[in-house]
């Protein structure tokens, strides 16, 4: 705080209420209580000492209740109304009254700071987990982060089954409990029975233990456990066990998301995605949904000869209005088991998609079929990154050239870092063996990326060109081709199902063939 000299004006401070202006005889101020001062004649200050001589005069604006400047060389202002003057200069004058805007601000802040703060109650966890081994703790955290359980809060603690018994002796249980135990079977059964008694029959209970014993599993079921898994179980198995208990029917119904993305434009990622979806539906007899998210240049409608009235863009423009009935109206049936959620494929508008809008639409779409095939555009965006990270499987399609190699490595590095416990992306090398084109050998390409190719497809322009021009799939026009067989094998692999055994030719047919 700076010091003032003795001869400085004491009323220069804007926070100090001014006394009766001694240079203004017309100002009607409250008389001083001192009779001698009251009787004294007002002293007119010299013009040179007037502190506001260089300022324009002001007058009161009756409409606004404020002081407004006017261009007048003489300093004079009208006195405020009598009531205002009386209240402003009484003995109980408060420098922070309503006439002072800074005082109002301070008073408002003091009032807000003094008011009690109401905090929203924390969200209740739908899953409690008590683990013993650090590896099991990481496994549980990864499993409860599965997309099918998205939105279900999980509370993971150390302590195992003993800590769970101690906790639920005084606290209410959540809908599902996971406990790990290293106790001997007899002791384990007794503790599970006690936990079931504490939590009631409505709570789902999953037990993790050391033994991989079907007999112990049956005994635990009789003791009150809903499921039993060995502690060495994989993340996917634990997530499946939680989802099978159907804590939320909508989440449990969510289908697996398989995203197809090209390392660059023109590698055939969309064509493979469409053929893959068709094989899932027709050859594997699985209900599938193909979502074309290449809004400007999507080709799914062309490949299946469909022209949907409503598209993905309509859903993204109003994600809050998308419900099961509206989504059903937007889907187009390509076959009995395959539905298409098509792209508008028009350039008369700009498609700027917010990541939140995409997530909201995808949450609705993923409950419409057991498998959701996502045809992703090449252009990079926030919602595309989010979709790839959240997908169950990512199929990266590339051609054996340097540009595709660089882009594929960048995508793989991102997904490996963002999905450390998820299934690693599958690599498909397409258009291998283009005549006259220098190519990176398949072995060198895969070694540079640190992955093995799940599928290598030769360059067959005639086959794929005929299929595209006739709006048909490769397996429809050439079911025995290498491309058709390779796509079907990829579908069996990604669906986690074993292909049927190859049928041996009948004995009579083999004899006839020999002749």
* pLDDT band with cut points at 50, 70 and 90 for residue 56: low
Q: Contact at 8 Å (CB) between 234 and 143? A: no
| Both structure tokens of 168 | 């639920």
Provide the pLDDT for residue 469: 94
Least confident range of 320-329, 406-415, 495-504: 495-504
Segment among 37-46, 101-110, 133-142 with least mean pLDDT = 37-46
> What percent of the chain is modeled with pLDDT above 70?
69
What's the CA gap between 490 and 375, in Å, rounded? 16
Instruction: Pick 504 or 116 by higher pLDDT.
Output: 504
Asked whether residue 318 carries a pLDDT value surpassing 60, the answer given is yes
- Alpha-carbon distance of 38 to 46, in angstroms, equals 21
Closest CA to 52 of 27, 21, 28: 21
Residue located via tokens 């987990």: 129
Whole-structure pTM value: 0.56
C-alpha to C-alpha distance for 476 and 514, rounded to whole angstroms: 30
Do the strands 371-375 and 288-292 form a parallel or antiparallel pair, or are they unpaired?
parallel
69-78, 246-255, 297-306: segment of lowest average pLDDT: 69-78
Say yes or no to pLDDT of 9 above 70: no
HSE-CB for 50 with a 13 A CA cutoff: 19
**Segment among 1-10, 315-324, 355-364, 485-494 with least mean pLDDT:** 1-10
Span 237-250, mean pLDDT?
A: 67
Q: What is the mean pLDDT of residues 477-492?
A: 94
| Overall average pLDDT of the 365-388 stretch | 89
- The string of DSSP codes covering 431-482 is EET-TT-----HHHHHHHHT--EEEEEE--HHHHHHHHHTT--HHHH-TTSH
d(CA 1, CA 137): 58
- Going by pLDDT thresholds of 50, 70 and 90, the confidence category of residue 354 is confident
- The predicted structure's pLDDT at residue 317: 85
Confidence (pLDDT) at 6: 44
C-alpha span between 328 and 398 (Å, rounded): 34
The answer to whether the beta carbons of residues 70 and 59 sit under 8 Å apart is: yes
Checking 155-159 for CB contacts under 8 A at 24+ apart, the result is: 155/125, 155/127, 155/128, 155/129, 156/129, 156/131, 157/128, 157/129, 157/130, 157/131, 158/130, 158/131, 158/132, 159/130, 159/131, 159/132
For residue 96, pLDDT over 70 is answered with: no
Planar angle of CA 313, 297, 293, nearest 5 degrees = 45
Can you give the pLDDT at residue 108? 56
The reported pLDDT for the residue numbered 303 is: 94
Question: Three-class SS string for 60-116?
Answer: EECCCCEEEEECCCCCCCCCCCHHHHHHHCCCCCCCCCCCCHHHHHHHHHHHHHHCC
pLDDT digits (tens, 9 = 90+) for 150-203: 556 788 899 999 999 999 988 888 888 999 999 999 999 999 999 998 998 888
Judged against a pLDDT cut of 60, whether residue 73 lies above it is answered with no
Among 96-110, 131-145, 313-327, the minimum mean pLDDT is found in 96-110
| Pair 126, 176: CB distance under 8 Å | yes
Query: In the predicted model, is pLDDT for residue 251 greater than 50?
Result: no
Task: Return the higher-pLDDT residue of 62 and 397.
Answer: 397
pLDDT band for position 394 (50/70/90)? Answer: very high
Q: In percent, how much of the chain has pLDDT > 90?
A: 37
Angle at the Cα of 241 from the Cα atoms of 386 and 419, rounded to 5 degrees: 25
What pLDDT shows up at residue 107?
56
426-432, strands of its sheet edge to edge: 332-333, 338-341, 288-292, 371-375, 256-262, 393-398, 426-432, 453-458
Contact between residue 293 and residue 408 where contact means Cβ atoms under 8 Å apart:
no
pLDDT tens per residue across span 465-476: 999 999 999 999
- 487 near 464, Cβ under 8 Å? no
pLDDT of residue 341: 93
pLDDT at residue 487 above 90? Answer: yes
DSSP for 16-57, written as a single string: SPP---TT-TT---PPPS-HHHHHSPPPPPPGGG-TTTTSPE
**Would you say residue 458 has pLDDT above 90?**
yes
- Higher local confidence (pLDDT), 279 or 73: 279
Q: By the 8 A CB rule, do 283 and 479 touch?
A: no
pLDDT at 57: 53
328: pLDDT strictly greater than 50: yes
What is the pLDDT at residue 311?
87
Rounded mean pLDDT of the chain?
Answer: 77
> What one-character-per-residue DSSP string does 219-265 give?
HHHHHT-SEEEETT--HHHHHHHHHHT-SSHHHHTPPEEEEEEESST
- Per-residue confidence band for 439, with pLDDT thresholds at 50, 70 and 90: very high
Mean pLDDT along residues 96-100 = 49
Most confident of 49-63, 206-220, 300-314, 435-449: 435-449
For the residues 242-270, what does the mean pLDDT come to? 78
**C-alpha to C-alpha distance for 273 and 66, rounded to whole angstroms:** 70
Indicate whether 31 pLDDT > 80: no
Instruction: Kindly indicate the confidence band of residue 505, based on its pLDDT and cuts at 50, 70 and 90.
Output: low
């Amino acid at each position: 705080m700076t010091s003032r000299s003795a001869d400085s004006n004491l009323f220069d401070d804007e926070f100090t209420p001014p006394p009766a202006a001694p240079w203004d005889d017309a100002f009607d101020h409250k008389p001083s209580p001192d009779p001698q001062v009251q009787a004294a004649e007002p002293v007119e200050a010299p013009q040179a000492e007037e502190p506001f001589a260089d300022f324009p005069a002001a007058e009161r604006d009756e409409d606004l209740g404020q002081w407004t400047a006017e261009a007048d060389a003489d300093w004079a202002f009208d006195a405020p109304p009598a009531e205002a003057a009386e209240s402003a200069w009484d003995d109980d004058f408060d420098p922070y009254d309503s006439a002072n805007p800074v005082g109002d601000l301070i008073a408002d802040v003091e009032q807000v700071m003094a008011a009690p703060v109401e905090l929203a109650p924390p969200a209740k966890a739908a899953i409690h987990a008590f683990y013993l081994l650090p590896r099991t703790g990481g496994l549980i955290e990864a499993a409860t982060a599965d997309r099918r359980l998205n939105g279900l809060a999980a509370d993971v603690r150390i302590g195992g089954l003993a800590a769970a018994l101690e906790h639920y002796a005084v606290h209410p249980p959540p809908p599902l409990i996971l406990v790990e135990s290293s106790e001997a079977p007899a002791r384990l059964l007794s503790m599970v029975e006690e936990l079931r008694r504490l939590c009631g029959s409505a709570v789902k209970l999953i037990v993790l233990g050391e033994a991989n014993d079907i007999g112990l599993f049956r005994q635990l079921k009789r003791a009150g456990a809903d499921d039993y898994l060995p502690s060495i179980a994989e993340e996917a198995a634990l997530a499946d066990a939680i989802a099978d208990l159907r804590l939320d029917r909508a989440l449990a119904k969510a289908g697996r998301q398989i995203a197809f993305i090209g390392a660059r434009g023109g590698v055939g990622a969309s064509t493979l995605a469409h053929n893959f979806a068709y094989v899932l539906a027709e050859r594997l007899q699985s209900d599938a949904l193909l979502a074309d998210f290449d809004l400007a240049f999507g080709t799914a409608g062309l490949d299946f000869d469909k022209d949907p009235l409503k598209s993905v863009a309509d859903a993204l423009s109003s994600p809050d209005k998308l419900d099961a009935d509206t989504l059903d109206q937007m889907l187009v049936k390509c076959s009995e088991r395959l539905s298409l959620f098509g792209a508008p494929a028009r350039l008369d508008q700009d498609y700027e998609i917010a990541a939140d809008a995409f997530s909201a639409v995808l949450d609705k779409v993923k409950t419409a079929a057991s498998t959701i095939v996502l045809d992703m555009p090449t252009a990079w965006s926030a919602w595309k990154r989010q979709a790839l990270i959240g997908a169950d499987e990512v199929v990266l399609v590339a051609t054996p050239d340097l540009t595709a190699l660089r882009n594929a490595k960048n995508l793989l590095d991102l997904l490996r870092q963002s999905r450390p416990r998820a299934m690693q992306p599958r690599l498909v090398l397409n258009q291998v063996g283009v005549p006259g084109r220098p190519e990176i050998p398949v072995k060198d390409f895969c070694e540079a990326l640190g992955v093995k190719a799940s599928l290598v497809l030769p360059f067959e322009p005639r086959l794929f060109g005929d299929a595209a021009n006739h709006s048909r799939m490769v397996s429809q026009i050439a079911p025995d081709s290498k491309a058709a067989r390779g796509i079907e094998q990829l579908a069996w692999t990604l669906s986690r199902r074993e292909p049927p055994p190859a049928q041996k030719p009948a004995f009579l047919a083999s004899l006839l063939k020999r002749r």
